[in-house]
Amino acid sequence: MNRLESHALAPWAILVLLVALSFSAFSLSLRDLMQIGINDPGKGYILLVPLVAAYLFWLRRSRLVGEMIGPSNYGPLIILAGGIAYWIGIYFDLMFLWHASGIIAIIGAVVTVFGHRLLAAFAPAFLVTFAMVPIPGRVQIALAQPLQGFASGFTAIVLDLVSVPAVRMGNTIEINGALVAVGEACNGMRLLVPLGLVMFVFVYSLPLKPAIRVSLLVASVPVALICNVLRLVPTSLAYGYYPESAIFVHDVGGWMMLPLAIVILVTLVRVIEWLDISVSRWRLVTA
């Protein structure tokens, strides 16, 4: 190996060392994230987030130019921030900070070796890694209550529009004599992050203008709610008329929300183009 090759490999060797040290120092929180992804069926997406981050990074590989690569003093500060988050998370029992600390430290290791300009050039790839952090329980409870009311209310409206006799009672709907707890069981919380992850990847996989990107991200919220209601209608009918198939319809409908959300977002982009509004920054198939 000549000196030039040795010089080129040196930053990667340092990066591997720093990442290994980060994994060692934050092993408890990182291992807990992996265990949650393995053991909790509703959070299996955690295991896919690193692959999603790698995909978004690969899409932007053309932005990686020699001028932006170099050591940065911001890296150790980010690693320090990860350490502070780790101890604050333990001291104040803030699990989301404790879980995020290892991710912050690993990002700090990358910035230490390759420079802080990577954060701006590859921001989506770095940001998406925080999807690994489970939503705090208190936030889930706060979100679940309005989602329950929305889910049961709009499901009852849709059923009424298609002439299905249904009576809403709080967060439950009575269909054919069966009480369907659509509010509690199907409020969409379980697929909230996976759905958001899919929408985020879709928006940042296309060469869209910043304003269009922001508009689609904002539109992702009502799109997710619409998808959940569209899932609840057949689920409610199954519980009311075909209870033996209800669980299957519920599970299939849940995962069908993901491609349905993409179809709706693609349709929105097509509508914007139909209105003769430019959505792309350039005519290249790249993000």
- Mark which of 106, 134, 162 sits at the end of a domain: 134
Q: What is the pLDDT of residue 40?
A: 86
Contact 181, 171 (CB under 8 A): yes
Neighbours of 220 (CB within 10 A): 21
Q: For strands 172-175 and 178-180, give the pairing.
A: antiparallel
Residue 188: what pLDDT? 61
pLDDT tens for 152-207 read: 888 888 888 888 888 888 778 888 888 887 655 565 667 778 888 888 999 999 88
Residue 166 is given by DSSP the state: E
Looking at the fold, whether 48 and 162 belong to one and the same domain comes out as no
Looking at the fold, whether 102 and 181 belong to one and the same domain comes out as no
One domain, residues 253 and 156:
yes
Please check whether residues 111 and 179 belong to one and the same domain: no
Instruction: Determine, yes or no, domain membership for 99.
Output: yes
State how far the Cα of 165 lies from the Cα of 153, in Å rounded to an integer. Answer: 14
Same domain, 143 and 265: yes
- Same domain? For 118 and 153 the reply is no
From 93, 111, 134, give the residue that closes a domain: 134
CB 249 within 8 A of CB 238: yes
Q: How far apart are CA 287 and CA 168, in angstroms?
A: 45
Tell me whether residue 286 is in a domain.
no
| Same domain as 148, residue 45 | no
Give the pLDDT score at 189: 65
pLDDT at 71: 85
Backbone angles phi, psi at 176, to 5 degrees: 55, 35
Where are the strands (E) in 204-280, listed by range?
Answer: none
> Is the domain of 45 the same as that of 113?
yes
Same domain, 197 and 239: yes
- Please tell me the pTM assigned to this model: 0.84
The answer to whether residue 32 sits within a structural domain is: yes
Domain count, the chain: 2
- β strands within the chain, DSSP E: 166-169, 172-175, 178-180
Verify that 27 and 44 share a domain, yes or no. yes
The one-letter amino acid at 55: Y
- Domain hosting 167: range is 138-274
Q: Is residue 285 part of a domain?
A: no
Last residue of a domain, one of 71, 104, 134: 134
Q: Which residues of the chain have pLDDT under 50?
A: 1-7, 283-287
pLDDT at position 27: 95
Claim to verify: residue 171 and residue 241 sit in the same structural domain: yes
- CA separation, residue 255 to residues 121, 130, 218, 265, 277 (Å): 32, 22, 22, 17, 32
